[in-house]
Amino acid sequence: MDIKFSAEDIAFRDEVREFFTAEFDGTVAEQLNGRQGTDYKAGMIAWQKKLHAKGWIAPGWPTEYGGTGWSATQKFIYETERGLAGIPDVVPFGLKMVAPVIYTFGNEEQKAKFLPRILSSEDWWCQGYSEPGAGSDLAALNTTAEYAGDNYIVNGRKIWTTFAQYADWIFCLVRTSKGMRKQQGISFLLIDMNTPGITIKPIVTIDGKHSLNEVLFEDVAVPTANLIGEQDKGWTYAKALLAHERTGMAEVADSTRSLNALKERASAEVNGGQAMINDPVFQMRLSDIEMELMALEYTDLRVFASMAAGGVPGPESSLLKIKGTEITQAIQELQLQLAASYGGALPDDLSAQELGHDFAFEARGRYMYGRAATIYGGSNEVQRNVIAKAVLGL
């Protein structure tokens, strides 16, 4: 892939930068700081509506459904500039996860009903995959959907359901048949979160935030019209969704921005002491991360080149997911090391303010929440098995 941008690409990059500078204002940024509360949802919807008005909300969608028609290079430029600017990605569950499943495998009625409302952020979606006994081994799920005339009756529970407390809809993997290979008896259902029988229980994570939930289904009636594709073929659709999800977890630009900010912070002297950047061990760890990030960037470019040539994400997406999340965690560990004891300070601790308590508190929160990065989207152990089987033939 030629990574030298054309004049048209550079003009597009400048347009993206100008749009971000003009439209991602302080009010929206403040609302999106924290991943919780009604302000977060309002802020994210307001930002997504700005992207929709610009025509940039769905770069990956086909143009007939509202996509941008961008080239792979333009998509790469957009995501790079977004990450470097520190602008959060759109909530992926509707726009990047269920929508591609609907427009690829859904019928015309489903496309007409769901896609416009996802595009305009009228509906907020969440993902019903993991269960208490089925996380990395997702095909072990036990939530059932029994056929009953015009409805499926759903019973079971899902866990680690991000933003379910805000969601209007949930897309679920459910077991519709037994007595066959476990991947073959799974179906893909779209469920209205206002349906009687659904209960949401909050899960407060170690960083003190509420973004995760357990969702319980008790005799929930779901119209058969909400079945995507064929019954018992949901595993096929889920695999296609997960491949795209994992590709997006490389987050090279986001990690580059975080690493640059870390280096700038580490170069400052605190309380008359030596700057942390001068510590040989800190330097070594920083250099290791920079080299890993550079290797990840070129791997990411190779995947984009393949997609530009008409390919689809394959086992490479597992590699991007592994290294992307491991690099994210490594940066978070260095951030916490830089914060040192200030990372455990209370908001009114004046000593923490000498360092800049905002940095210390944010470093602590990112570190704690980021421990899950190597698990979500399929644990890194499972991704290594995928690579061993699909790439190495083991």
- Among 155, 125, 123, 121, smallest CA distance to 141 is for 155
107-110-113 Cα angle (round to 5): 150
Same fold for the domain at 125-232 and the one at 248-390? no
Residues 146, 147, 151, 152, Cα dihedral to 10° = 30
- HSE, side-chain direction, 13 A CA sphere, residue 26: 0
Share of the chain above pLDDT 90, in %: 51
Domain ranges of the chain: 7-90, 125-232, 248-390
| 3-state SS, residue 356 | coil
Say whether domain 125-232 belongs to CATH 2.40.110.10: yes
Q: How confident is the model at residue 1 (pLDDT cuts 50, 70, 90)?
A: very low
- Cα–Cα distance between 152 and 147 in angstroms, integer? 5
Please indicate whether residue 125 or residue 244 has the higher confidence score (pLDDT): 125
- Cα–Cα distance between 326 and 251 in angstroms, integer? 11
Please indicate whether residue 57 or residue 314 has the higher confidence score (pLDDT): 57
Residue 349 has pLDDT above 70, yes or no: no
Q: Are strands 125-128 and 144-148 parallel, antiparallel or unpaired?
A: unpaired
**DSSP state, residue 328:** H
Q: Are 387 and 315 in contact (CB under 8 A)?
A: yes
**DSSP state, residue 42:** H
Q: How many residues are present in the chain?
A: 394
pLDDT in tens, 183-227: 889 999 999 999 999 999 999 988 778 899 999 999 999 999 999
Please indicate whether residue 228 or residue 335 has the higher confidence score (pLDDT): 228
Kindly report which listed range (42-51, 117-126, 256-265, 371-380) carries the lowest average pLDDT score: 371-380
Kindly report which listed range (104-118, 133-147, 175-189, 378-392) carries the lowest average pLDDT score: 378-392
Residue 308 has pLDDT above 70, yes or no: no
Report, as an integer, the average pLDDT of 101-120.
Answer: 97
Positions annotated as catalytic residues are 245
Enter the pTM of the model: 0.85
- Among 105, 166, 162, 78, smallest CA distance to 128 is for 162
Give the DSSP H or E segment for 100: helix 99-105
Angle, to 10 degrees, between the axis of helix 252-266 and the axis of helix 280-308?
Answer: 160
pLDDT in tens, 36-93: 555 788 889 999 999 999 999 999 899 999 999 998 889 889 999 999 998 989 999 9
Q: How confident is the model at residue 35 (pLDDT cuts 50, 70, 90)?
A: low
Q: Are strands 151-158 and 125-128 parallel, antiparallel or unpaired?
A: unpaired
Q: How confident is the model at residue 111 (pLDDT cuts 50, 70, 90)?
A: very high
pLDDT of residue 17: 96
CATH superfamily name and code, 248-390: Butyryl-CoA Dehydrogenase, subunit A, domain 3 (1.20.140.10)
pLDDT in tens, 8-24: 999 999 999 999 999 99
pLDDT in tens, 136-186: 788 899 999 999 999 999 999 999 999 999 999 999 999 999 888 888 899
Q: Cα–Cα distances in Å, from 137 out to 16, 132, 133, 217?
A: 40, 11, 8, 21
pLDDT of residue 267: 86
Q: Are 19 and 54 in contact (CB under 8 A)?
A: yes
pLDDT of residue 365: 79
164-371-255 Cα angle (round to 5): 95
pLDDT of residue 132: 92
Please indicate whether residue 37 or residue 393 has the higher confidence score (pLDDT): 393
Average pLDDT in the chain: 86
- Cα–Cα distance between 337 and 143 in angstroms, integer? 42
Residue carrying the six token digits 């319980």: 216
Which residues sit opposite 190 in a β-bridge?
A: 171
CA 383 to chain centre: 16
pLDDT of residue 269: 64
Angle, to 10 degrees, between the axis of helix 234-247 and the axis of helix 316-339?
Answer: 50
Q: Computed from CA positions of residues 187, 131, 205, 136, in that sequence, does the dihedral angle turn out positive or negative?
A: negative
Q: Judging by beta carbons within 10 Å of its beta carbon (0-12, 13-18, 19+), is residue 48 exposed, middle or buried?
A: buried
- Cα–Cα distance between 346 and 362 in angstroms, integer? 12
